[in-house]
Amino acid sequence: MGLVYLEYDFTIEPAQPATDILIAELGEVGFESFVENETGLLAYILKSDWREDILDGLFILQQPGFEISWIQKEIQQQNWNAEWERNFHPITVGDRCMVRAPFHPAAEVEYDIVIEPKMSFGTGHHETTHMMLQHILDMDVQGKSVLDMGCGTGVLAILAKKKGAGPVDAIDIDEWCYLNTQENIERNDCESIKAFQGDSSLLKGKKYNVILANINRNILMEDIPVYVECLTSGGTLLLSGFYLKDLDAISSKCAAYGLQFEKNLEKNNWISAKYVN
């Protein structure tokens, strides 16, 4: 028998920015995956990680400007792919990169990335992943060592590799993400990417020219010193997974460890920022 997940079907009105805030808050309390739809959001959590009061402290659910309701049901892990196939559509980034599922036809683009849409964050649909892909497209990573921290599906590592980066490492604390990344590495003929399961403690003694970290504000703030320690001279740190209101705090933390802010992208109040040393 597969793992049992709980599916929360949220109806959200108006959709934004409530949906983005809800995703961020649900991620903090243990929800693993999200699918946006016409009425709001589907959110998934392992039944073993669920507790009775899991939604009680969510800020967005207390705000009078939004109407948010939900229904809950159990869902077997093996049903997940059918759920994704109903909701997953190819995306293009800058007309140069397509992120698609295996059941979508290929397109004439410079970088064609095939992601099996399982229960991992990072299909390119979320603003943070989309912006990180944009940053990578804009950079010269040829021959540079790259770390994809909190890799999700491995999509960022895969684009970096397709652009000529190497060596490339991908790390995620979640076993599902680690296994999914391994599958997607093989699917995209990028077997030289090395995937690891774990957290920033794995980075001791490592050095990279480019570090990609699309996680969340709290983990980024905690791990920025570790990332800086791992950056080579003249290296680049790309961060995402936080809101515009958090940019000053993130930039101040980076500055305290000798990094200079270079630029940021913004999409629907989400930020992806570039820092150099």
Q: Which residues are annotated as part of the binding site for S-adenosyl-L-methionine?
A: 129, 150, 172, 214
Task: Give the β-pairing of 231-243 and 260-267.
Answer: unpaired
**Which residues define the annotated binding site?**
129, 150, 172, 214
| Cα(237)–Cα(239) distance, integer angstroms | 6
- Which 3 state secondary structure label does DSSP give 30? coil
Q: How far is CA 121 from CA 44, 90, 264, in A?
A: 11, 15, 21
CA distance 240 to 230: 18
CB 29 within 8 A of CB 218: no
The token duo for 45 is 């959590």
Q: How many residues does the chain have?
A: 277
Task: Annotate 102-129 with b (16+ C-beta within 10 A) or e (fewer).
Answer: eeeeeeebebebbbbbbbbbbbbbbbbb
Distance CA 146, CA 15 (A): 36
Per the omega criterion (within 30 degrees of 0), is the bond before 14 cis?
A: yes
